[in-house]
Amino acid sequence: MKSLKNSAPAVGPAATEKLSLSETNLPEGFAVFNLPDGHRVRMRTTNGLERLNKEFKRRTRVATLFPNPDSCQRLVSALLAEQDEEWMTAKTT
């Protein structure tokens, strides 16, 4: 981050705010690199989460009407358990 601070005078005052935003947000963007290799492969994009949300939507449309909140929670819990099992048994490399 020292290089960003040093380059602020060179780029001018208009870019100083952008450099400041980069300075605060870049560490969050690179946080994925602190994860173990096996997790990093899955966490670098939101594709898995989007796929899981689509699966929730598909399965809950089939049920259409839940008799109580617990039945919906059981369905979602089963889907999450299934996803967890897939992640644990899948090859990560």
Report yes or no on 86 lying in a domain: yes
Report yes or no on 39 lying in a domain: no
pLDDT at position 8, please? 58
Report yes or no on 76 lying in a domain: yes
Nearest to 30 by CA among 44, 47, 46: 44
Report yes or no on 16 lying in a domain: yes
Report yes or no on 88 lying in a domain: yes
Contact between 19 and 8 under an 8 Å Cβ cutoff? The reply is yes
Domain enclosing residue 23, as ranges: 1-34
Helices and strands in the chain, H and E counts:
5, 0
Compute the Cα dihedral for 66, 72, 74, 75 and give only its sign: positive
Work out the percent of the chain whose per-residue pLDDT is above 90. 12
Report yes or no on 40 lying in a domain: no
pLDDT tens digits for range 14-56: 677 787 788 888 888 788 788 888 777 777 778 888 999 999 8
